[in-house]
């Protein structure tokens, strides 16, 4: 934290799925110095550039700086990790060429335990995490349809926000993304699980259903509430106090989303990796270390794990 974060940072983006393309395109359009690692569909992205469609904008970056390996990119000031958490075993190979002293690594990944593998490679003191509330789908290489631009919350791994947290948040804001620096990243992650665990989970486990069906089904609605309460109870043991009113508002919020197809369900149905361990497995393991009973969460974890095992082999994605 001694070196101040540069005003015009050199930025690398790892992963060219929906999130990597969405934020990366915005950064590039805002004139930032962005370098994309694109491993599949690179020729298409080089030829056609990057395209983002939102409900109010069409953004195009004709000439993106696209690379096939991190060595070609070289050291940066900021690395955004937009890979699926299920690909985190590749970080040992992908990250080092992008690092120099003080490089900030921001993971955009979902769930619990996603900062730890980054910290192992980049050093805990350099790790930030983002919680992205956003609705994005990659429709083709470099092409993203963003139905809900939402909000990004950024925090430090195991520390309150500092100057660089605000500097990184400002970068998002300048690129047209609503963004806030936050003091308690871990608590935010538990809060996001309050929604993700039941809605992403039951969407898969109850037969491939949208959130409106979960909200309307008497049993699943009650089950969602119990799952949320298990998360709240576990979070409390780690010092994160999530009020019961936060549970209540999830249902109204979700009802307003209509026939929403949670991202894990999309991944599941399209044969892509699902963040099983980060969303369901890790919360179970952490709750158990504190002796908090999470019978429904654990049951959901086991069911989804089995459903994933039975599915055709997921194809690789970067």
Active site residues: 192
Stretch that binds its own copies, among 6-14, 52-60, 85-93, 219-227 (CB under 8 A): 219-227
**Taking CB under 8 A as the rule, does residue 87 contact its own copies?**
no
Among 13, 21, 220, 247, binds its own copies (CB under 8 A): 220
Q: Does residue 158 belong to the site contacting its own copies (CB under 8 A)?
A: no
Q: Does residue 52 interact with its own copies by CB under 8 A? A: no
Per CB under 8 A, the list member of 137, 151, 266, 303 interacting with its own copies is 303
Selected binder of its own copies within 170, 206, 257, 266 (CB under 8 A): 206
Task: Report in angstroms how near the CB of residue 206 gets to its own copies at its nearest.
Answer: 5
Tell me how far CA of residue 89 lies from CA of 84, 86, 165, 207, in angstroms: 10, 8, 26, 30
Taking the C-alpha atoms of residue 34 and residue 25, their distance in angstroms, rounded to an integer, is 9
Q: Which is nearer to its own copies, 16 or 224 (CB)?
A: 224
Give, as ranges, the residues between 224 and 253 that touch its own copies (CB under 8 A).
226
Q: Which is nearer to its own copies, 124 or 307 (CB)?
A: 307
Distance CA(312)–CA(149), nearest Å, equals: 32
Contact with its own copies (CB under 8 A): which of 112, 181, 209, 276? 209
User: Binding to its own copies by residue 207, rule CB under 8 A?
Assistant: yes
288 interacts with its own copies by CB under 8 A: no
Please identify, using beta-carbon distances, which residue of 22 and 301 lies nearer to its own copies: 301
The interface region with its own copies, picked from 21-29, 32-40, 222-230, 243-251 by CB under 8 A, is 222-230
Of 221 and 272, which CB lies nearer to its own copies in the complex structure?
221
Out of 101, 219, 239, 243, which residue is the one contacting its own copies (CB under 8 A)? 219
Determine if 222 is a binding residue for its own copies (CB under 8 A).
yes
Token couple for 71 = 């060595």
Nearer residue to its own copies within complex by CB, 78 or 227: 227
Residues in the site for its own copies, rule: CB under 8 A?
Answer: 205-207, 209, 213, 217, 219-220, 222-223, 226, 295-296, 298-303, 305-307, 309-310
């Amino acid at each position: 934290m001694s070196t101040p974060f540069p005003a015009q940072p050199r930025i690398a983006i790892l992963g060219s799925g929906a999130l990597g393309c969405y934020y990366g395109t915005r950064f590039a359009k805002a004139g930032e110095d962005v370098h994309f690692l694109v491993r599949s569909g690179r020729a298409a992205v080089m030829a056609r550039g990057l395209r983002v469609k939102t409900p109010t904008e069409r953004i195009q970056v004709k000439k993106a700086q696209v690379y096939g390996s991190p060595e070609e990119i070289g050291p940066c000031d900021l690395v955004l990790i937009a890979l699926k958490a299920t690909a985190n075993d590749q970080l040992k190979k992908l990250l080092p060429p992008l690092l120099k002293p003080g490089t900030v690594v921001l993971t955009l990944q979902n769930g619990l335990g996603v900062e730890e593998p980054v910290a192992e490679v980049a050093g805990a003191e350099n790790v930030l995490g983002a919680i992205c509330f956003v609705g994005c789908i990659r429709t083709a290489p470099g092409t993203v349809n963003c139905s809900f631009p939402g909000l990004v919350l950024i925090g430090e791994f195991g520390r309150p926000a500092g100057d660089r947290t605000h500097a990184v948040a400002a970068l998002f804001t300048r690129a047209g993304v609503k963004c806030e620096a936050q003091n308690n990243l871990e608590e935010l992650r538990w809060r996001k699980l309050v929604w993700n665990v039941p809605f992403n989970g039951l969407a898969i486990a109850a037969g491939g259903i949208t959130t409106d069906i979960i909200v309307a089904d008497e049993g699943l609605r009650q089950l969602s509430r119990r799952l949320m309460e298990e998360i709240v109870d576990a979070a409390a043991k780690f010092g994160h106090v999530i009020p019961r009113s936060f549970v209540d508002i999830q249902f109204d919020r979700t009802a307003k989303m209509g026939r929403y197809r949670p991202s894990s369900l999309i991944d599941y149905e399209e044969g892509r990796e699902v963040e099983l361990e980060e969303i369901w497995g890790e919360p179970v393991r952490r709750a158990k270390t504190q002796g908090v009973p999470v019978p429904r969460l654990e049951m959901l974890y086991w069911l989804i794990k089995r459903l994933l095992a039975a599915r055709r082999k997921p194809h690789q994605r970067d």
